[in-house]
Structure 1
Amino acid sequence: MKAVRLAALLDAPTAFGVTHASAAAYTDADWQQRAQSAAERAYVLAFDGDMAVGLTAHAQAGDGACHLLGMWVAPAWRGSDAASRLVALAKQRAMDAGHARMVLDVAPENARAAAFYQRQGFVFTSHREALESHPHIMLQQMACQLQA
């Protein structure tokens, strides 16, 4: 998880709520604690053989929805089914946990990501907020109703 998360932060430094420098400073114990899935947050990796090529997390949001976080797929695997499989698994896990709705935040200017999420059933909401690691970037929430 550490290697793929650091690769994501290098590849897309303004797409996440943490910077590469701050994540690189985490201790091994910090990474081990983050990697442990719990009721409030779970990480999922996509693999091609032994190589991790994608990552996402899902966590309970403040309003009881499930929040899709940290979505990333390595450049060589973009356009494959890795991203859609990660989202499908996150949706299934959210439904299994009793969530009726999944939300995520994306910069609307990130047209490729926004279009991908729309193909996965997400729609933009009116909620906006600044990206914690880069406050000049405004994120817009997207939401998807989950079907049991």
Structure 2
Amino acid sequence: MSDIAVRTLSEDQWQDYRQVRLAALAESPEAFVATHAEESGYDEDFWRQRMRRSSRILAEREGTVLGVVSVGSSSEQREDVAELFGLWVAPQHRGSGVAWKLVQAGADQARAEGKAHLVYWVGTDNGRGVAFASSFGFRTTDYRRPMRVVSEEEGAEEMAMVLPLGADPGSVPSPTLR
């Protein structure tokens, strides 16, 4: 089996992103804020704007898309913090290192952009997600927000997990992410 390759898409590759994003929404509707029906109706201009707003990274093997992740500005509006979001791996490729490669590429990109921390929001009841992020080096925090995914029950929360990107792996944003 060949290696997993990752690549950051350019704005002109919006159709590649659209295709994998719609596949993710169709396969795992409970994992996203948006719906397949909603996003499948968006036009080229919408997708191009989305490409300019954040980086979209694909994982592939021999031309087959295995997964996707996005990296953008932190929702907390800190210049030194990037946010990792929209992580999805096709079901048949889960557990094969695809998510690891995508997160590594996202962290490398954030580090190259001079970011000090990478934030990844994970459901507080998503043990598998928390375990994966922890194994990568993300640290749990006390920062919580209501779960933004529509399929989640009222009151569900997600927490910010933080990956230090600088020379000091023990550093965390202080006193808040803001």
Decide: shared fold, TM above 0.5: yes
Aligned-partner Cα distance in 2 for 1:97–1:29 = 26
Aligned-partner Cα distance in 1 for 2:122–2:158 = 5
2:109 aligned partner: 93
Quick one: which amino acid aligns to residue 166 of structure 2?
Q
Aligned-partner Cα distance in 2 for 1:10–1:91 = 27
2:165 aligned partner: 146
Deviations 1:73-94 (A, max 9, x none): 1111111121111111111111
Size of the aligned set, in residue pairs, is 145
Q: Percent identity?
A: 32
Pairs within 5 Å for 1:1-148: 1-36=17-52, 41-61=54-74, 62-64=77-79, 65-134=81-150, 136=154, 137-148=156-167
Aligned-partner Cα distance in 1 for 2:47–2:25 = 15
Inter-CA distance 129–21: structure 2 relative to 1 (3 Å threshold): farther
Deviations 1:28-63 (A, max 9, x none): 332233234xxx521101112222110001011112
Per the TM alignment, residue 146 of structure 1 is displaced from its structure 2 partner at its CA by: 0.8
Aligned-partner Cα distance in 1 for 2:78–2:143 = 13
Higher strand share goes to which structure? 1
For structure 2, the residue ranges without an aligned partner over 5 or more in a row are 1-16, 168-178
Q: Larger Rg: 1 or 2?
A: 2
Aligned-partner Cα distance in 1 for 2:94–2:21 = 16
For structure 1, the residue ranges without an aligned partner over 5 or more in a row are none
Match of 1:8, SS?
helix
TM-score in terms of structure 1 length = 0.88
Quick one: which amino acid aligns to residue 124 of structure 2?
P
Q: Say what the alpha-carbon RMSD is for the aligned residues.
A: 1.7
Per the TM alignment, residue 133 of structure 1 is displaced from its structure 2 partner at its CA by: 4.1
TM-score in terms of structure 2 length = 0.74
